[in-house]
Structure 1
Amino acid sequence: MSLTASLADLSVLLVEPSSMQAGLVTRMLQHQGVRSIHTVGEGNAALAALSESQEGWVVISSLYLPDMAGTDLVMAMRDDAALEAVPFILISSEIRPQVLEPVRQSGACSIVAKPFNEQQLSRALYAAADYLNPPDDIDAADIENLRVLLVDDSMASRRHILRLLAELGITRVVEAENGKAAVALLQETMVDLVITDYNMPEMDGRELTEYIRTQSWQNTVPVLMVTSEQNMGRLAAVERAGVSAICDKPFEAGSIRKLIAESLLR
């Protein structure tokens, strides 16, 4: 399925209290080929619309809504088994990390910063379409027995990555909520791939990577870091520690699939 066809098949739920902003986004979506656009002005109205039918929805939401924040909306979606896989795109001028972090950790497809242009919105839509219609770009034979260690202190983030892995056919996954727990697992469980967050209690992603490369008997295992960390100095230290690849949160589904495919070829 082409991306154009995928966008035409999307059903967008636009959550925006400003009629002017809603009109602007609607025109951009229509120009991108999206035919089904439903607009509501509040978070509770969005949840009600989603509860009626979840198939094919992509939620595009403002951060500040009359009855709740966009962060509350995405967390409510992720806490509902029927809605947790619905792609979520946040549109906001907010730049404070502490405000955006819940959205990053929730498994959002994208955060589109205001002011934005049609190209930026288009990229977010492509990420959502790719999430709903994952391409078959990894040979099933290569991943049939792939063993993955997933390390993240955010349960919502782990659930999001687990869904992506399951779509690829990767089901042999063990989970750890921080680096210290991961070390214990690595001592007794052989894995083919480690996917880890950076900021975690007890032992962070850099320390875990250093342990794997210098002390673990599995010191050649590929390590993919999925993180919302923006400090370039810290990320450079992670690279020096020996991480195989770094992927930003929120990440596009295609990005992590590509990183996994590349790690299998190393």
Structure 2
Amino acid sequence: MNPNELSLLVVEPSDLQRKIIIKELKQQGITKVVEAKNITQAYDIAEHNPLDLITSAMYFDDGEALELLHKIRNNPTIASTPFMLVSSEDRREHLEAFKQSGVIALLPKPFTSSHLTTAIDTTMDLLSTDELELEYFDVREVRVLLVDDSRMARNHIKRVLNNLGLLKITEAADGSEAIKLLKENMFDLVVTDYNMPEINGKELTRFIRSESGQSHLPILMVTSESNDTHLANILTEGVTAMCDKPFEPENVKKILYKILED
């Protein structure tokens, strides 16, 4: 897929900012662009037009971008549409919900051309199939346990994994459900969120390494955590690799290739 094949919706209340974003998109070779000023317009367009990507500001006169994202994710016909946030908002608590909802990118405002290029590349990766070629595994037979308390995040991660050829995916909504599944089934890989209620990713890792009977399992920890001390503590529990949210396909592919082939 090439950028000029992409169909985008730009949701931005400022006429000037929309023009700036559209100009940047054209410089990336993207010309199939429709516009919306608010959530109501954006959802109506998304519902009635096939889109490859929605790029949205944070705040509107009729609500916030998270409301638009949730409406889209709860509509089965458009739920898988990639969503990118462009905002000057930098407070972690405001951005966390977007990370947990499976956005493909969080771009600062103003953003640079390199920021946009990365986001567009991620979109194209998400829309295409690029199966892992493994020496020791048939990638389609790899049994994956995917653990995340956010259904939207699970859907996004599952889509990325499916595009890489990982088709045998069992989902768990939290760490306690994951432990039950580990007691009853064998897996080849665990992909887990860090921040979860009751039993978090660190505690789940500890169980796998010391109590599960599958202590050898490679564990990919997916986290939006930015605290260096917390990250260091996670690694000491025996995590094989870590990956940031948003869950970027190209980065995930490199990580999975390494941990499954080592």
TM-score normalised by L of structure 1: 0.93
Question: 1:139 Cα deviation (Å)?
Answer: 5.2
Matches within 5 A, 1:151-190: 151-190=147-186
- Give the Cα separation in 2 of the matches to 1:91 and 1:229: 20
Residue 233 in structure 1 maps to residue 207 in structure 2: no
Give the aligned partner of residue 145 of structure 1. Answer: 141
Does the Cα contact within 8 Å between 2:22 and 2:33 map onto a contact in 1? yes
Residue 212 in structure 1 maps to residue 208 in structure 2: yes
- Give the Cα separation in 2 of the matches to 1:169 and 1:130: 13
Give the aligned partner of residue 38 of structure 1. Answer: 34
Does the Cα contact within 8 Å between 1:13 and 1:59 map onto a contact in 2? yes
- Give the Cα separation in 1 of the matches to 2:214 and 2:240: 14
Question: 1:138 Cα deviation (Å)?
Answer: 3.3
Question: 1:41 Cα deviation (Å)?
Answer: 0.5
* 2:176 match: secondary structure: helix
* 1:144 match: secondary structure: helix
Give the aligned partner of residue 253 of structure 1. Answer: 249
- Give the Cα separation in 2 of the matches to 1:20 and 1:13: 16
Give the aligned partner of residue 72 of structure 1. Answer: 67
Does the Cα contact within 8 Å between 1:148 and 1:195 map onto a contact in 2? yes
* 1:24 match: secondary structure: helix
Matches within 5 A, 1:53-202: 53-54=49-50, 56-138=51-133, 142-202=138-198
Does the Cα contact within 8 Å between 1:198 and 1:227 map onto a contact in 2? yes
After superposition, what is the alpha-carbon deviation per residue over 1:44-96, rounded to whole angstroms, capped at 9, x for unaligned?
21111112222x42101000122121111111111111111111110011122
Structure 1 spans left out of the alignment, 5+ residues? none
- Give the Cα separation in 2 of the matches to 1:168 and 1:109: 16
TM superposition outliers: structure 1 runs of 4+ over 6 Å: none
* 2:169 match: secondary structure: strand
In the alignment of these two chains, the number of paired residues is: 261
Question: 1:213 Cα deviation (Å)?
Answer: 1.6
Aligned letter for 1:200?
Answer: M
After superposition, what is the alpha-carbon deviation per residue over 1:128-150, rounded to whole angstroms, capped at 9, x for unaligned?
11111232343596212111111
- Give the Cα separation in 1 of the matches to 2:260 and 2:228: 27
- Give the Cα separation in 2 of the matches to 1:27 and 1:106: 28
Residue 8 in structure 1 maps to residue 17 in structure 2: no
Change (3 A) 1:136 1:145: closer
* 2:59 match: secondary structure: coil
Does the Cα contact within 8 Å between 1:131 and 1:254 map onto a contact in 2? no
- Give the Cα separation in 2 of the matches to 1:29 and 1:17: 17
RMSD: 1.7
- Give the Cα separation in 2 of the matches to 1:142 and 1:259: 17
- Give the Cα separation in 1 of the matches to 2:133 and 2:105: 23
After superposition, what is the alpha-carbon deviation per residue over 1:8-33, rounded to whole angstroms, capped at 9, x for unaligned?
11111100010111111111111111
Does the Cα contact within 8 Å between 2:157 and 2:247 map onto a contact in 1? no
Stretch of structure 1 that moved more, 252-261 or 27-36: 252-261
Does the Cα contact within 8 Å between 1:138 and 1:168 map onto a contact in 2? no
